[in-house]
Amino acid sequence: MTDNNTIIELKSISKSFDGATMVIDNLNLEIKKGEFVTLLGPSGCGKTTILRMIGGFETPTKGQIFLDGQDISKLPPNKRPINTVFQKYALFPSMNIYDNIAFGLKIKKLDKKTIDEKVKRALEIVDLEGFEKRGVATLSGGQQQRIAIARAIVNEPEILLLDEPLGALDYKMRKEMQLELKEMHRELGITFIFVTHDQEEALTMSDKIVVMADGKIQQVGTPEEIYDTPSNVFVADFIGESNIFNGKMTGSGKVRFCDTEFECVDDYPVGTKIEAMVRPENVHLVPPAEGMLTGEVYSSIFKGIYYEILIMHGKNEFTAQSQKEIPAGTEVGISIDPDGIHVVPYNINKNHYTGIIDDELKIRFVDFSVKIDVAKLFDGVTEKDGVLCDSKGEVIDTEGVKVDAYFEPGVADLSDSPEDGIVAGHIISIIYKGDHYSYIVRSRNDKDYYVDDDWLWNIGDYVSVIVPEDKIEYKLIG
């Protein structure tokens, strides 16, 4: 529910370009006054599109955008109290700094004295006092970006949109500008909506992070919430490092993965299939006799303030951190505290597809069709001469009856020959699960197939999904 503190509300927003695939899919988001909100996600997930819709440079295909409770979906950009800073600074090279910043104010026909004061104040905020007469070409990248920010804030917007504004800066300058932007946010007290694909940047700067993938919000939370309690394996994998394993609840606050039972703080019914996430800093290395499980170190990589230690426990790989180098081949114990394990139930909607029975008793799904003994799906029904009959021999009409097909991700395999499997598509997601990779393959009809495979493929590979016929479970729907 919207409260008085909400400045921007996106309500059921969808966006497609030229009627093609939805780039943003029924997205809802509230942004509070004065917040530093970061939209974070991999390239192409729709961050810039959201920003452009808030700025008024794109119109939503569906849904509404509210600013202070007023629908602004159709308002042009210059009528919104919003300014944007882009990755490319887009300063006017022929004008000096004063004229660059004053440009919008002159168009608004403000008097010279007011413009002078506002430009001076904007330069103070970006820490470039006295730069009025300098030419654009004499400034460093970081200074130019600060001028671009000064030019945006001189209009005193209620909201500042920042689209990867630090993307073009080198690492050191970027770090410096992160802190400065945060300071400017504090000083101005306005709402900042920031776009980045850099998770470290998002964690450092934001009050609230919106993690996105594929045009959808995966999680909204403070940096701590996103890091400590990721809502799914995508978030855990995208933000920082994570050990991710498949497992099962074995008792109240008890979970089993990597052939070991652990205590955990999350609770789900016994038997629930889960995904367990453990940050490397929560994998404690202890003498083998004191470990909950043991393993053998196979690499120790210096990372500046710690060593990243990779340990094999049977077929499962753990990543841990250590202050000291531990030589490959060392036997170590692994201990994980209950609050170091974050458990989420395995998404049971994975790999369920709805098909319909046709007049030839084939089941047609969006991407594939199968010919199975359809009679088996019904009680007391047999097939005779290509039609289904009940126990009295009466023909029953099954055309159009819906069927759910399901297969476990682990029974499927990937192949690079498109005709090998039931469906072909591109790999859109890879998550490492300790002893295998978990893939999402998206078909050209936009259906997702989850496959666990030992082999490493790449994002974007065109593969087919092979599922043994007897491993697909069919059930009537309704």
Query: Applying CB under 6 A, which residues contact ligand ATP?
Result: 17, 23, 41, 43-49, 197
Give the 3-state DSSP-derived string for the chain, with helices as H, strands as E and coil as C: CCCCCEEEEEEEEEEECCCCCEEEEEEEEEEECCCEEEEECCCCCCHHHHHHHHHCCCCCCEEEEEECCEECCCCCHHHCCEEEECCCCCCCCCCEHHHHHHHHHHHCCCCHHHHHHHHHHHHHHCCCCCCCCCEHHHCCHHHHHHHHHHHHHCCCCCEEEEECCCCCCCHHHHHHHHHHHHHHHHHHCCEEEEEECCHHHHHHHCCEEEEEECCEEEEEECHHHHHHCCCCHHHHHHCCCCEEEEEEEEECCEEEECCEEEECCCCCCCCCEEEEEECHHHCEEECHHHCCEEEEEEEEEECCCCEEEEEEECCEEEEEEECCCCCCCCEEEEECCHHHEEEEECCCCCCEEEEEECCCCCEECCCCEECCCHHHHCCCCEEECCEEECCCCCEECCCCCEEEEECCHHHCEEECCCCCCCEEEEEEEEEECCCCEEEEEEECCCCEEEEEECCCCCCCCEEEEECCHHHCEEEECC
Cβ proximity to ligand ATP: between 352 and 444 the closer is 444
CB of 217 to ligand ATP, least distance (A): 12
CB of 42 to ligand ATP, least distance (A): 7
Cβ proximity to ligand ATP: between 16 and 330 the closer is 16
CB of 52 to ligand ATP, least distance (A): 7
Cβ neighbours, 10 Å, residue 67:
20
Cβ proximity to ligand ATP: between 47 and 279 the closer is 47
CB of 83 to ligand ATP, least distance (A): 18
Cβ proximity to ligand ATP: between 45 and 136 the closer is 45
CB of 406 to ligand ATP, least distance (A): 30
CB of 368 to ligand ATP, least distance (A): 26
CB of 211 to ligand ATP, least distance (A): 12
Cβ proximity to ligand ATP: between 53 and 101 the closer is 53
Cβ proximity to ligand ATP: between 40 and 412 the closer is 40
CB of 18 to ligand ATP, least distance (A): 7
CB of 60 to ligand ATP, least distance (A): 13
Cβ proximity to ligand ATP: between 17 and 92 the closer is 17
Cβ proximity to ligand ATP: between 49 and 83 the closer is 49
Cα gap 194→166, rounded to integer Å: 10
Cβ proximity to ligand ATP: between 211 and 467 the closer is 211
